[in-house]
Structure 1
Amino acid sequence: MGALMRATDWSKTRLGPVENWPSSLKTMLGVVLGSRFPMMIWWGSELLQLYNDAYRPILRHKHPASLAQPGAQCWAEVWDEAGPLVRSIQEGRPATWMEDWQLFISSDEMAEETYFTSSYSPVRGDDGSVAGVLNTVQETTVKVQSERQIRMLHDLARRVADAKSEHEACLIAVDVLAANALDLPFVLVYGMDQSAQSATLVASHGWKQIDGQPVAAQVPINDQANTQDWPFAAVMQSAQEVTVDNLSARFGPMPMGRWNARTEQAIVLPLYGTGQAAPSAFFVAGISPHRKLDERYRAFFLATADQVANAMVKARALEEEKLRAEALAEIDRAKTAFFSNVSHEFRTPLTLILGSIEDTLARHKPLGGDELDMVHRNGIRLLRLVNSLLDFTRIEAGRLPLSFVPTDLSRSTSELASAFDSLVEQADMRLIIHCPPLPEPVYVDPAQWEKIVLNLVSNAFKFTLKGEIEVSLHWHGTYAQLRVRDTGVGIPAHELPYIFDRFHRVEHSQGRSFEGSGLGLAMVQDLVNLHGGTVHAASVEGEGTTFFVAVPAGTAHLPADRIVQTPVAATRPTSASALVLEAAQWSASSHRSGIPAAPPSGRAIDSKMDRQAVSAAGRILLADDNRDMREYLLRLLRPFWEVEAVGDGRTALASALHHPPDLILSDVMMPGLDGFALLRALRAESRTSTIPVILLSARAGEEAMLEGLDYGADDYLAKPFTTQELIARVRTHLTMAATRNALNEELVRANRELEAFSHSVAHDLRTPLNSIDGFTSILLMQQGETLDIEARRLLEDVLQAAKGMRQMIDDLLTLARVGRAELRRDTVDLSDLTRKVIDVLQRQEPGRRIQFKLMPGLTTEGDPGLLRTALDNLIGNAWKYSSKRQESVIEFGATKANGEVAYYVRDNGAGFDMKYAHKLFAAFQRLHSEKEFPGTGIGLATVHRIISRHGGRIWADAAEGQGATFYFTLP
């Protein structure tokens, strides 16, 4: 533009030769041409236009004819709106500001929909009067249109979610789209017929009829070009959208739109179902006569069509739900058969494995006997789980072999419960067995009664850490009742209805172990039901639980073909040893917080991996409630690193806080504090927040891994895993942690240097400022009376500018210091701090009439120095922005907001428009002019940083001319 202006013969324009231009115009034009922000000057009574390069895109095709052209001529199509604003500035009224101003400007033979954020300010001539108007403007068309379209797409996704059918989804979608007439003058949705030879109108808006003819209800689809209908055949062939021009020639005169223009273009898009190669429907939308079909507009149509297609797919899925439910039922039946077969197949190799190990251990203690003991214990446990799974699938399929025989239930129950005698005694608890003789035998299946009793007693032992377990049996005339009572952790009331559900576990329950299939109590319930009985539980959290099992007397409730009349004497339990052995592992887990040093494993490990592992030195904290797993991991890790092993999450947390390790290896499922809760607690503490954590879990698959990583774990390892994989991951994270710590130390050093630099720069800036301030003050004192009014005013402006610069430096240093200062946590009396701030302000302006309302006794936890800085700024702002009131009112108090305490500072001052609230807490953002209310624009940014560092939130509520209220929370 500078080059163009230099090449212009201005003597032939209304502005005349450049040498005759006022100096104020030349000065202002230099500012405009040097700016990269869109700016234009309207000069003189005709408002002749001069502008910079950044303004040229706003003019569209009007440039270069618009140079030195009168504003009313250049902007004739919008002058009814813009003209009065410009004239008001010429007449001496205050500057104006318009945000997201809608204007339809001429562009390429259309009235283009545009939006601008614009200001109009006076430009003084050489004589001091208003000689011109400065227009600074930013086009916001893209922002406004994008926000409008995003709101529409959001409403569309929300509304169609409730559609029950495909047709209803189309109707709802079109109803939502109808609200956006600026982007979608009309909308039609056609569904493909079964024959794929035609498409039928499903829903429409904005086009009832054209020239008296209704919109086509059915459109044939063929390969021949048809200029009288929508080109659905072309859309199917190209598999992409097709633009249709000159709608009036195809369908007759189009209706006049809201802004006096006819829609002459439309876009036709295919709608696809899930996995379909051909479209199942078509989306037809009018193209606004006020917008060009550019890539952004085209992308909007594509996104809208995708949303409509997704809505139709989801609705269609609901209609198909019944068929899917029937298919799932068949799959469930197949699943039951599969588990039954797999369980049978597991039993054979397990029997061979256990038999061989037992023979070897019985003959002699072989080399590596400890490892064989561990294999044997876990083999028995696996066999028991397989048997439980087999029983479960048999019960579910109704194929569990049962034989109900008359049984001495008292003796049988006593024998079964006494299997836990020594184990309970070792755990420093008491086992009470009270089973007096019953008046008659009870018909039960002995093998299944054994499972009922053993599951309930082992469950009681698992969740009882001290006190006693009581097993009793009583006769109630028509039924015998088994009662298993414990003094354990109890069951929360909200969990009690679900304890017999399959695979249900009580979350965060404190027990001896978190291991288990989640089938035990569900199987107990199923077995009791097969006996014609009932089972229920009563519990008080923290006091204990009692299970009641009622078995009816006689045989009337039992299937006749399953009753065996020969009495069966009580026998030694056949599966008690497996349950007792497993329970013994829980006992060891819950009473041992650490494990002594284990000898190095005899397992051969690759020498290269050995050297790499040793090179990544560090200390590891291992947490797992399974004793065998802890010993196994110790044997793997101790040859390379120092390892501390603990049996539960609480002990692991205490150890990590007392002596932070270099890495934590934790099981996910542990009693008391599980792996996820441990991870959250570690991340909440500054000393342990950066320690790498690897989670171990029996849950495999991508979903389980992502869940672990979402909780903040550095890595996730699913069981079973190989030795090489475990050691490689541990070594990698230890190496990364060492590197990260070194980088953190370097960052701390760099921050110290930056802090020193900022203070040095501040000092260097203050020195010349002090000189400017001092010498200007001396000049005013010594020569002030000899200077004219204008000279004195200019010197006073220099003093004021120096003061503002000094304040800016102080505020910037405060903002930087807030981000670096170490955060203290003390008890702070906010009411007292506020009173001190007010005292300082009153001493500075003793004559100010102001009313303070201060709520006493408001205390919190936080950093006293930083909170004083925050209140200095908030109370200072209230003081400043209420200064033009005859009587100012400032309040400080507290209220409830969303269930938390929110402190507030309220004034009756200038306030502000809430649409600018998002700018409040950014540095250098001001909502009032410098002349009206001086300031640096940094204070609220400093307050925001202080509140954020305390973990709180800050927001504001205000209205122009009615004051403002700032709220903040301090957790």
Structure 2
Amino acid sequence: MSDKPPVGTWSDLFADGGEMGALMRATDWSRTRLGPVENWPGSLKTMLGVVLGSRFPMMIWWGPELLQLYNDAYRPILRHKHPASLAQPGAQCWAEVWDEAGPLVQSVREGHPATWMEDWQLFISSGDMAEETYFTSSYSAIPGDDGSVAGVLNTVQETTVKVQSERQIRMLHDLARRAADARSEREACQIAVDVLAANALDLPFVLVYGMDQSALSATLIAAHGWKEIDGQPVSARVPIDDQSAARDWPFAAIMRSGQELIVDDLRTRFGPMPSGRWNAPTEQAIVFPLYRTGHAAPSAFFVAGISPHRKLDERYRAFFLATADQVASAMVKARALEEEKQRAEALAEIDRAKTTFFSNVSHEFRTPLTLILGTVEDALARRQPLNGQELDVVQRNGIRLLRLVNSLLDFTRIEAGRLPLSFVPTDLSRLTSELASAFDSLVERADMRLIIGCPPLPEPVYVDQEQWEKIVLNLVSNAFKFTLKGEIEVSLHWHGTYAELRIRDTGVGIPAHELPHIFDRFHRVESSQGRSFEGSGLGLAMVQDLVNLHGGTVRAVSVEGEGTTFFVAVPAGTAHLPAERIVQAPVAATRSAKASAFVLDAAQWSPSTDRNDTSAIPASSHVIDSRPEQQPALAAGRILLADDNGDMREYLLRLLRPYWEVEAVGDGQAALESALNHPPDLILSDIMMPVMDGFALLRALRAQSSTSTIPVILLSARAGEEAILEGLDYGADDYLAKPFTAPELIARVRTHLTMAATRNALNAELVRANQELEAFSHSVAHDLRSPLSSINGFTQILLMQQGQTLDAEARELLEQVLLAAKGMRQTIDDLLTLAHIGRAELRRDPVDLSDLAQKAISVLQRLQPERQIRIKLTPGLTTRGDPGLLRTALDNLIGNAWKYSSKRAQPMIEFGATRANGEVAYYVRDNGAGFDMKYAHKLFAAFQRLHSEKEFPGTGIGLATVHRIVSRHGGRIWADATEGKGATFYFTLP
């Protein structure tokens, strides 16, 4: 009887195998390495039945060659390998991953336990690429009929979609989170690229291009993964045109379509591409347009490399789209924040400009108001009419007020577009010459030269004559204000299509960083060394607006310290002007009254003016009150007056000179030089002045010992509590806001002169008393030292000569006398040192504190060589101060630590530095007796002791001396201690 089963029995083996069963039924197994089915081992047939009947991906590797048998569920894992993979050896089928899979299979065949890999990354050949895939897989042994391992069962689940999706979602989440911190579009792009760079598996490279304002090109904003090719960087700027699209990114085509575009020919466009993380060059890229809200055209382009290990399927496309949308959203949010910040900054700048403007215009109004009101009040007080000179002052300042008001109204009308203009054909040369010549005598009196070169032009120029006057007069007066020597040139040039006015000066010039802002509203070049600090900050802004209304342009070139030239170009003809504003009838050019107002105003800026000579003014014109019997007694003294306005100087001189000696100067620098050369008894100073303002003058005065105590009264147009407190914080003794009354000014000057005289008398008395005290202290020290020396000397002689004959008690008493004499002498020396510290002139030299500390310790070690003490010194601690006084301070602090650590078995002293409240604090630390912190307030008072004389001898003056030295240096000293565990003394030296 044959052992072979019926043929039909083996055909049932593949009956439930689906498509794989059909394939296996149709296979002539005799032609395969497995041989005829009827010869297969029973264990293989049994396991194959299980595999084919399962819906879970399974494959059998059988025999030494690991021949493959698998079910329908396993087929997608094989990609294009199926059906050739059936009965194929595993090493041949999976050649691209066998270096990873083979050792695991062999391990199971050798009898080792089954394996388990979760989300195992494998690059499987799929068509023409090595596809990035992930599997959760297990290899387990299949026993043969004889019980040995005959094959390996591979159960597997592909997790590629899960792994890639989780990776991409994580990246998009990180991008949204981090991009929320971006404050500008550029920063948002850089953050986005940094986040995307962490996912090189999906994005081999990323580029973000921003559209230029011209819309003619795009500039690279951020990049990762492709910085250069063959040493050449990636395109930094890409033209938006079809000609360059074939050799660069096709941004023009994307702008037309408004859709993303796949770029397949990267190698053709750019040459060899970067290999990236897997050493496989990227051959494709996808480019997305990025839009801002409310804009039809893209504002940027997002370029992403397509992985060479992934197919660009719908899932991969959706990922690119989500990433591009996220980058666009980050840019939009960042731009919104940036615009909000810019709006806030613009509002803050407007607010600052407004505050500055009101401060300036307040000064401009209050100064003439002071002169007008003060002159009138003076006349009313003396019951007499205004004299000619006073009428001139009132008229000049009234005109100045009128001009200021008109300027403000004009500026407001310009801003609102309501300035009435009439453009008439004008002989511009004649008009300009007439206006400039109004400054001729003023410039000549200032020892300068005015050059006017305005030749006739070939045709009339259409201008509004009134506004042209403002343009010329503002620029010429501005040139005079900032030119202290040399010349001013006014010239007119014809350039065929336009006329150009040039106003050149040899003045102080404009700093390069200020030049872009000189035409801004309310902007003033604060550091300019001009004739005056006066001005509203509207002049040049108004010039620019008026020139623009003429269809022209204005610009300036300047070299600081050499001069400035303004160029005003006005087009010829009428095509650039509104037709309804043109008046064809020619109007003769004549000088208006405005020129006189500008010249009168500029005349106030000259410090050398005849109006300052008030010696001929009768004293009766300066009576403060109409009742002489109520006149207060005025303290004698010399006053230094600083103000850049000529009329204000004249007015103050008329008020003050009948009672005091007064010197008047035009700026803070001149006041400082005068005060240093000949210190006055009081300084009366304006705040807003050229060269050096009142605050800078105050700082300079307080920094010099010869002028530090001079009383200073500030005059300012800035009123209110905040302005007063600011002035007082700068060190002023008093603050007087304009406009002020004559009696108020006289009263304050009298009060401060009286107080200064009293203070000076007290200081002189104090100096005399200190000198007497110093002489007394030296005399007493000498008188005390002499008997102490005798006591000390005779006691030592007695001990040396008679010591052997005296009993122990007598010798001990004599030794106590010596010790007491020594202590008394130390007390006298310490008291003299303490007294000297307050009188000695403080030096500010470089001091090596570490070196001083080492010297103090060396002295103590020589005196007590038997003491073993651990020393910790931080080297290189330096400061600036008085070397002698700081040596005394460290001698006392280290001596203190040496003394109070004497009873420790292992004493320690440390000198170092730390930081306390933002400043360097030096410290001396010991592990000695310490003290109770509730007594810390007594530490630095003279003769205060926290330990008994018997326990730790001393004078009780050392720490008081240290405190005085540190205080004289402007520092502070404090201590921290624990009783029985040591103390740390800290001190600062600003």
TM-score by length of 2: 0.51
Structure 2 residue 598 is the aligned partner of structure 1 residue 579: yes
Partner of 1:672: 691
The answer as to whether partners of 2:612 and 2:653 remain within 8 angstroms in 1 is no
Partner of 1:969: 989
Picking from 410, 420, 423, the partner of 1:404 is 423
Picking from 918, 922, 925, the partner of 2:940 is 922
1:917 CA drift (Å)? 13
Partner of 1:486: 505
Structure 2 residue 537 is the aligned partner of structure 1 residue 525: no
How many residue pairs align between the two structures? 615
Root-mean-square deviation (CA, aligned residues, Å) is: 5.5
Between 1 and 2, higher relative CO (CA 8 Å, sep ≥ 6) is seen in 2
Partner Cα distance (1:774, 1:798) in 2:
11
Q: Relative to 1, partners in 2 of residues 1:935 and 1:488: Cα closer, same or farther, differing over 3 Å?
A: farther
Q: Relative to 1, partners in 2 of residues 1:467 and 1:968: Cα closer, same or farther, differing over 3 Å?
A: farther
**What amino acid is the match of 2:439?**
F
Corresponding residue SS for 2:659:
coil
**What amino acid is the match of 1:715?**
D
Q: Relative to 1, partners in 2 of residues 1:952 and 1:463: Cα closer, same or farther, differing over 3 Å?
A: farther
Structure 2 residue 648 is the aligned partner of structure 1 residue 629: yes
The answer as to whether partners of 1:870 and 1:942 remain within 8 angstroms in 2 is yes
The answer as to whether partners of 1:954 and 1:969 remain within 8 angstroms in 2 is no
Partner of 1:394: 413
Structure 2 residue 965 is the aligned partner of structure 1 residue 946: yes
Which digits, 9 at most, give the CA deviation of each residue in 1:848-877, with x for residues without a partner? 6787979789785x5554344234335545
Show the 5 A alignment for 1:172-183.
Answer: none
The answer as to whether partners of 1:613 and 1:640 remain within 8 angstroms in 2 is no
Partner Cα distance (2:917, 2:516) in 1:
32
Partner Cα distance (1:559, 1:434) in 2:
31
Partner Cα distance (1:771, 1:778) in 2:
11
1:512 CA drift (Å)? 0.8
Structure 2 residue 479 is the aligned partner of structure 1 residue 460: yes
**What amino acid is the match of 2:659?**
F
Q: Relative to 1, partners in 2 of residues 1:601 and 1:953: Cα closer, same or farther, differing over 3 Å?
A: same
1:394 CA drift (Å)? 2.9
**What amino acid is the match of 1:939?**
G
1:958 CA drift (Å)? 10
**What amino acid is the match of 1:455?**
N
Partner of 1:685: 704
Corresponding residue SS for 1:622:
strand
1:638 CA drift (Å)? 2.3
Structure 2 residue 469 is the aligned partner of structure 1 residue 450: yes
1:622 CA drift (Å)? 2.1
The answer as to whether partners of 2:428 and 2:460 remain within 8 angstroms in 1 is yes
Partner Cα distance (1:615, 1:425) in 2:
42
**What amino acid is the match of 1:597?**
S
Q: Relative to 1, partners in 2 of residues 1:524 and 1:785: Cα closer, same or farther, differing over 3 Å?
A: farther
**What amino acid is the match of 1:465?**
L
1:688 CA drift (Å)? 2.4
Q: Relative to 1, partners in 2 of residues 1:912 and 1:428: Cα closer, same or farther, differing over 3 Å?
A: farther
Corresponding residue SS for 1:616:
coil
Q: Relative to 1, partners in 2 of residues 1:410 and 1:907: Cα closer, same or farther, differing over 3 Å?
A: farther
1:621 CA drift (Å)? 2.0
Corresponding residue SS for 1:469:
strand
Q: Relative to 1, partners in 2 of residues 1:486 and 1:841: Cα closer, same or farther, differing over 3 Å?
A: farther
Structure 2 residue 674 is the aligned partner of structure 1 residue 659: no
Picking from 727, 731, 734, the partner of 1:708 is 727
**What amino acid is the match of 1:922?**
F
Partner Cα distance (1:932, 1:536) in 2:
84
1:671 CA drift (Å)? 1.6
Structure 2 residue 825 is the aligned partner of structure 1 residue 817: no
Q: Relative to 1, partners in 2 of residues 1:649 and 1:879: Cα closer, same or farther, differing over 3 Å?
A: same
Q: Relative to 1, partners in 2 of residues 1:911 and 1:778: Cα closer, same or farther, differing over 3 Å?
A: same
Q: Relative to 1, partners in 2 of residues 1:779 and 1:733: Cα closer, same or farther, differing over 3 Å?
A: same
Partner Cα distance (1:914, 1:765) in 2:
36
Partner Cα distance (1:603, 1:814) in 2:
60
Structure 2 residue 672 is the aligned partner of structure 1 residue 640: no
Q: Relative to 1, partners in 2 of residues 1:652 and 1:609: Cα closer, same or farther, differing over 3 Å?
A: farther
Partner Cα distance (1:647, 1:912) in 2:
63
Structure 2 residue 563 is the aligned partner of structure 1 residue 544: yes
1:479 CA drift (Å)? 5.6
Structure 2 residue 615 is the aligned partner of structure 1 residue 597: yes
Partner of 2:758: 739
**What amino acid is the match of 1:631?**
E
**What amino acid is the match of 1:710?**
D
Q: Relative to 1, partners in 2 of residues 1:604 and 1:967: Cα closer, same or farther, differing over 3 Å?
A: closer
Partner Cα distance (2:848, 2:842) in 1:
17
**What amino acid is the match of 1:624?**
D
Q: Higher Cα Rg: structure 1 or 2?
A: 2
The answer as to whether partners of 1:463 and 1:512 remain within 8 angstroms in 2 is yes
Corresponding residue SS for 2:706:
coil
The answer as to whether partners of 2:973 and 2:985 remain within 8 angstroms in 1 is no
Partner Cα distance (1:444, 1:569) in 2:
12
Partner of 1:381: 400
Partner of 2:223: none
Partner Cα distance (1:558, 1:801) in 2:
105
Structure 1 residue ranges without an equivalent (≥5)? 1-321, 355-365
**What amino acid is the match of 1:708?**
G
Partner Cα distance (1:499, 1:518) in 2:
9
Show the 5 A alignment for 1:218-229.
Answer: none
1:462 CA drift (Å)? 0.5
Partner Cα distance (2:757, 2:553) in 1:
60
Partner Cα distance (2:557, 2:899) in 1:
65
Partner Cα distance (1:549, 1:881) in 2:
83
The answer as to whether partners of 1:593 and 1:651 remain within 8 angstroms in 2 is no
Q: Relative to 1, partners in 2 of residues 1:637 and 1:767: Cα closer, same or farther, differing over 3 Å?
A: same
1:772 CA drift (Å)? 9.4
**What amino acid is the match of 1:572?**
R
Q: Relative to 1, partners in 2 of residues 1:952 and 1:477: Cα closer, same or farther, differing over 3 Å?
A: farther
1:445 CA drift (Å)? 1.6
**What amino acid is the match of 1:811?**
D
Show the 5 A alignment for 1:861-872.
Answer: 863=882, 865-872=884-891
The answer as to whether partners of 1:415 and 1:573 remain within 8 angstroms in 2 is no
1:800 CA drift (Å)? 6.2
1:580 CA drift (Å)? 1.8
Partner Cα distance (1:524, 1:909) in 2:
76
Q: Relative to 1, partners in 2 of residues 1:670 and 1:543: Cα closer, same or farther, differing over 3 Å?
A: same
1:367 CA drift (Å)? 10
Greater CA deviation, 632-641 or 696-705?
Answer: 696-705
Corresponding residue SS for 2:684:
strand
1:447 CA drift (Å)? 0.9
1:455 CA drift (Å)? 0.7
**What amino acid is the match of 1:969?**
L
Which digits, 9 at most, give the CA deviation of each residue in 1:104-148, with x for residues without a partner? xxxxxxxxxxxxxxxxxxxxxxxxxxxxxxxxxxxxxxxxxxxxx
Corresponding residue SS for 1:488:
coil
**What amino acid is the match of 1:657?**
L
Partner Cα distance (1:624, 1:828) in 2:
44
Partner Cα distance (2:429, 2:840) in 1:
73
Corresponding residue SS for 1:620:
strand
The answer as to whether partners of 1:614 and 1:640 remain within 8 angstroms in 2 is no
Which digits, 9 at most, give the CA deviation of each residue in 1:11-52, with x for residues without a partner? xxxxxxxxxxxxxxxxxxxxxxxxxxxxxxxxxxxxxxxxxx
Q: Relative to 1, partners in 2 of residues 1:967 and 1:917: Cα closer, same or farther, differing over 3 Å?
A: farther
Partner Cα distance (2:890, 2:772) in 1:
30
1:656 CA drift (Å)? 2.0
Partner of 2:25: none
Q: Relative to 1, partners in 2 of residues 1:579 and 1:957: Cα closer, same or farther, differing over 3 Å?
A: farther
